[in-house]
């Protein structure tokens, strides 16, 4: 349908167009956005770092583990959701479990978590909210539900020899309401809450 | 209460899109009909060697699409293969051949299927100069093809359907780039990262270590959604808090994904000189969209199935800041627009809930579909619909004053057949070829039972429809799936484009026939209903048997 010469001419145009567009869209555009971001919004552009004193201890957006080296949850800290990122909250390996609703591994994991959380916090297994029993999509979910945070108050207060009502007040102060009042779900940022609770003196 | 919030969320989205429909649709019509070039465009045409005032036949237009995409394919492939010598590659090795092919095919076809895990596979240069560039230009190609088809309807006795290079340039520079610049800055304000920091090692509150990723994410994230691409900067895609930090950024992504596909009917109406035709097409798209959002949201809210019932809610694979409804809204938007981004893991949806993203794609990505591809897909279905109506009353069918003759019907029918063939043959071969079946079952499939079949079916549905989302438990980085899905993406994109442009050429060459009392009006509810019916029948009859083996069996037994 076309002579080899027109085909070759079109190929030349295509190649030059791709090169020029790569310079504009693949180099100038991202560098310009980076420049604007670094100048105008450096905290967000660099990952919303959270500091204690002058030491960065994490990101306000990325969940982290509050477990010992063997993966056992540390009772003096509020615990995040289960995580399927690497060995848990591995920020270089974001991932969900991808287990389906009838997968025996998921069913077993939920049963085990339910028993563990009930015992760990001394609560009725039926009072445990769904977010505490399920792994998030990213494996890096920085949040838990207010219900799961409140459920952990007694344990954390006892471990830290703090008054339960003080810790409860802290949780309530850390509840983030829905965006615009109706988008998404209310959350509690686990890292921020734990920093706050660590600063509470008994 | 949460149901009220869910309704408010959809109402907010609908309001924003309604406000954008006219100005954006009109703006796009002006872009693609204007006789004037911007100064920067004239520089571009000179550099590239294009005469912007010349017009192309459909064959020349197609040649431009194919050569440009072919160059893109080779370009993205080579960038990955030579990653080690590129700057900011984070010490990552060259991407293997099979995976490089799959990824190049994926981004050139506007699919953004990801057999790879970005954090451990591609450095920043491949992301910004390879993948993100394709995010822009593959979207611009899609819109260009749709506009060429619309010109087929609007022109009479014309041998040409526009100039591909002009349409490509204007779509990129006047539409996608300006919106992306503004959107990227808003996203950074919302918490999306934009840096070249690489991984930063930090000491956590308990004294452990965590390696936090960096990257030029916001600039890519915005076009990923605006261009209905979907390829995540990180493995967890838009559920990663650095990609989608809040519920409001998630809603903004839905706006970005839907704004062009839902406004293109206005562009279409304007260009064919009858805005009511645009409203009719919009009504069909919106009906599917609203029904699909409602069904998926209800299914996930009810949370049927052993694991969700045990946990007290379908929260496996969902982020707390999104909950059920911000996840199902995003999931529906992403799978009905051929974007394929995810902010929740579809593999972990309830059995029937997980069927909805699949059904969304199986509709053929037309409600509202990908940028451009949604409009041309829907116009093909409209051609089929007037043909069916013509058969019922025994008249030669017409659409927008153009006779739908055997040639037009042949082209439309061939278009319709490509996608289901790729999906069903690809899925069937994965289980039928000895050697490959064992590999698929032992290596690729993650969940046991019917759900495993669903994972493979989902993959081919996603690839052939250029969506890119996945039942992500599937390990797709194998020789069979990299090759088969790569080919499904290329065939699923470019074979239909050949038919669309041939149809455009055929229609443009025709004169217009005047409407008579016997002409079926294509702006009335009757036609809207007919088009909805045709879309459902074409899909449902084709895919119902295989769905009974996968999600229906899992959800109903």
Are B320 and A136 an interchain contact pair (Cβ–Cβ within 8 Å)? yes
SS3 B240: coil
- How near does any CA of chain A get to the CA of B214, in Å? 7
Give percent of chain A above pLDDT 70. Answer: 99
Contact list in B for residue A189 (CB cut-off 8 A) is none
- How near does any CA of chain A get to the CA of B525, in Å? 34
Is A58 in the same domain as A21? no
Are A93 and B451 an interchain contact pair (Cβ–Cβ within 8 Å)? no
Are A30 and B212 an interchain contact pair (Cβ–Cβ within 8 Å)? no
Cα nearest neighbour of A186 on chain B: B321
Mention every residue, 6+ apart, whose C-beta is less than 8 A from residue B342.
A137, B237, B238, B239, B330, B331, B334, B469, B470, B472
Separation in Å, CA B515 to CA B135, B278, B374, B520: 41, 18, 27, 9
Looking at the structure of chain A, the number of domains it has is 2
Dihedral pair phi/psi, residue B202, rounded to 5°: -125, 160
What is the enclosing helix (H) or strand (E) of A114?
helix A104-121
Is A92 in the same domain as A24? no
Are B447 and A103 an interchain contact pair (Cβ–Cβ within 8 Å)? yes
What is the enclosing helix (H) or strand (E) of B247?
helix B247-271
Is A25 in the same domain as A70? no
From B195, B342, B354, residue closest to A34, measured CB to CB = B195
Is A66 in the same domain as A120? yes
Number of H-type helices and E-type strands within chain B? 21, 4
Is A113 in the same domain as A168? yes
**Residue-by-residue pLDDT tens, chain B, 557 positions:** 789 999 999 999 999 999 999 999 999 999 999 999 999 999 999 999 999 999 999 999 999 999 999 999 999 999 999 999 999 999 999 999 999 999 999 999 999 999 999 999 999 999 999 999 999 999 999 999 999 999 999 999 999 999 999 999 999 999 999 999 999 999 999 999 999 999 999 999 999 999 999 999 999 999 999 999 999 999 999 999 999 999 999 999 999 999 999 999 999 999 999 999 999 999 999 999 999 999 999 999 999 999 999 999 999 999 999 999 999 999 999 999 999 999 999 999 999 999 999 999 999 999 999 999 999 999 999 999 999 999 988 888 999 999 999 999 999 999 999 999 999 999 999 999 999 999 999 999 999 999 999 999 999 999 999 999 999 999 999 999 999 999 999 999 999 999 999 999 999 999 999 988 888 999 999 999 999 999 999 877 899 999 999 999 999 98
Is A53 in the same domain as A90? yes
Is A39 in the same domain as A53? no
Angle between the B275-302 and B2-33 helix axes, to the nearest 10 degrees? 150
Taken in order A96, A101, A106, A109, the sign of the CA dihedral is positive
**Domain span holding position A10:** 4-43
Is A70 in the same domain as A93? yes
pLDDT at residue B10, as a whole number: 97
Is A105 in the same domain as A173? yes
Verdict on whether the full-model pTM lies above 0.90:
yes
Contact list in A for residue B248 (CB cut-off 8 A) is 179-180, 183
What are the tokens at B503? Answer: 């149809």
Is A15 in the same domain as A112? no
Q: Which sequence spans correspond to the domains of chain B?
A: 2-200+212-273, 373-556
- How near does any CA of chain B get to the CA of A29, in Å? 8
Contact list in B for residue A21 (CB cut-off 8 A) is 133, 136-137, 172
What are the tokens at B53? Answer: 């005032």
From B239, B305, B471, residue closest to A138, measured CB to CB = B239
Is A13 in the same domain as A91? no
Separation in Å, CA A144 to CA A79, B178, B210: 9, 37, 19
Contact list in A for residue B448 (CB cut-off 8 A) is 103-104
ipTM of the complex: 0.97
Contact list in B for residue A110 (CB cut-off 8 A) is 307, 310-311
Cβ(B301)–Cβ(B191) under 8 Å? no
Cβ pairs A/B, distance under 8 A = 367
CA B111 to chain centre: 6
Which residue pairs from B32-40 have beta carbons closer than 8 angstroms and sit at least 24 positions apart in sequence? Answer: B32/B147, B32/B162, B32/B167, B32/B170, B32/B171, B32/B267, B32/B271, B33/B271, B34/B170, B37/B166, B38/B173, B38/B174, B40/B173
Is A14 in the same domain as A64? no
């Amino acid at each position: 349908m076309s002579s080899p010469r027109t085909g070759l001419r079109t190929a030349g145009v295509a190649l030059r167009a791709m090169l020029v567009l790569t310079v504009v869209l693949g180099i100038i555009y991202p560098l310009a956005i980076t420049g604007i971001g670094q100048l105008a919004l450096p905290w967000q552009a660099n990952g919303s770092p959270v500091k204690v004193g002058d030491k960065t201890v994490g990101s306000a957006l990325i969940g982290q583990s509050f477990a010992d080296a063997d993966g056992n949850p540390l009772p003096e800290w509020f615990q995040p959701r289960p995580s399927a990122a690497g060995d848990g909250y591995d920020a270089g390996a974001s991932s969900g479990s991808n287990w389906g609703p009838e997968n025996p591994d998921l069913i077993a994991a939920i049963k085990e978590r339910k028993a563990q959380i009930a015992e760990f916090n001394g609560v009725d297994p039926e009072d445990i909210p769904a977010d505490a029993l399920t792994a998030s999509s990213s494996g890096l979910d920085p949040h838990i539900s207010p219900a799961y945070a409140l459920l952990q108050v007694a344990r954390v207060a006892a471990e830290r020899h703090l008054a339960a009502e003080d810790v409860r007040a802290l949780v309530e102060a850390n509840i983030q309401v829905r965006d615009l009042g109706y988008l998404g779900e209310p959350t509690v940022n686990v890292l921020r809450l734990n920093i706050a609770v660590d600063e509470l003196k008994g | 209460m949460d149901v009220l919030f869910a309704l408010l969320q959809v109402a907010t989205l609908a309001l924003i899109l309604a406000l954008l429909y006219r100005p954006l649709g009109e703006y796009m019509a002006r872009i693609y009909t204007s006789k004037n070039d911007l100064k920067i465009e004239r520089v571009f045409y000179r550099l590239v060697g294009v005469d912007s005032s010349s017009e192309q036949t459909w064959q020349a237009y197609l040649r431009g699409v194919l050569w440009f995409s072919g160059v893109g394919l080779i370009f993205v492939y080579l960038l990955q293969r030579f990653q080690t010598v590129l700057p900011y590659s984070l010490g990552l090795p060259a991407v293997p051949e099979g995976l490089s092919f799959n990824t190049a095919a994926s981004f050139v076809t506007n699919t953004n299927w990801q057999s790879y895990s970005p954090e451990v596979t591609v450095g920043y240069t491949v992301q910004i100069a390879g993948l993100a560039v394709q995010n822009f230009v593959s979207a611009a190609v899609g819109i260009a093809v749709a506009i060429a088809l619309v010109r087929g309807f609007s022109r009479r006795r014309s041998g040409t359907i526009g100039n591909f290079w002009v349409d490509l340039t204007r779509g990129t520079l006047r539409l996608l780039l300006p919106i992306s610049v503004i959107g990227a800055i808003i996203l950074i304000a919302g918490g999306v990262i934009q840096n070249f920091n690489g991984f930063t090692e930090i000491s956590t509150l308990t004294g452990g270590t965590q390696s936090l990723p960096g990257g030029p994410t916001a600039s890519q994230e915005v076009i990923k959604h605006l261009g209905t691409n979907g390829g995540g900067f990180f493995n967890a895609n838009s559920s990663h808090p650095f990609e989608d930090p809040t519920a409001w950024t998630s809603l903004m992504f839905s706006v970005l994904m839907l704004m062009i596909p839902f406004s293109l009917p206005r562009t279409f109406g304007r260009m064919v000189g009858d805005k009511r035709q645009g409203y009719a097409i919009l009504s069909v798209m919106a009906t599917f969209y609203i029904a699909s959002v409602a069904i998926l949201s209800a299914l996930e809210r009810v949370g049927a199935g052993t694991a969700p019932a045990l946990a007290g809610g379908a929260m496996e694979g969902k982020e707390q800041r999104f909950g059920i409804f911000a996840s199902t809204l995003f999931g529906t938007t992403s799978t009905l627009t051929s974007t394929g981004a995810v902010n929740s893991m579809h593999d972990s949806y309830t059995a029937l809930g997980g069927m909805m993203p699949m059904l969304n794609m199986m509709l053929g990505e037309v409600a509202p579909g990908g940028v451009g591809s949604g409009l041309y897909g829907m116009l093909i279905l409209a051609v089929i619909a007037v043909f069916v109506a013509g058969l019922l009353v025994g008249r030669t069918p017409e659409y927008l004053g153009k006779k739908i003759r055997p040639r037009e019907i042949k082209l439309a029918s061939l278009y319709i057949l490509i996608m289901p063939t790729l999906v069903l043959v690809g899925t069937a071969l994965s289980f039928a070829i000895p050697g490959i079946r064992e590999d698929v079952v032992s290596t690729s499939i993650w969940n046991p039972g019917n759900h495993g079949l669903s994972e493979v079916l989902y993959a081919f549905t996603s690839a052939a429809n250029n969506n890119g989302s996945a039942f992500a438990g599937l390990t797709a980085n194998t020789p069979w799936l990299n090759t088969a899905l790569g080919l499904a993406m290329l065939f699923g994109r470019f074979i239909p484009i050949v038919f669309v442009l041939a149809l455009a050429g055929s229609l443009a060459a025709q004169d217009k026939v005047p409407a008579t009392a016997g002409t079926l009006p294509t702006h009335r509810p009757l036609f809207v209903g007919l088009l909805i019916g045709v879309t459902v029948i074409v899909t449902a009859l084709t895919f119902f048997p295989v769905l009974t083996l996968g999600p229906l069996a899992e959800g109903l037994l």
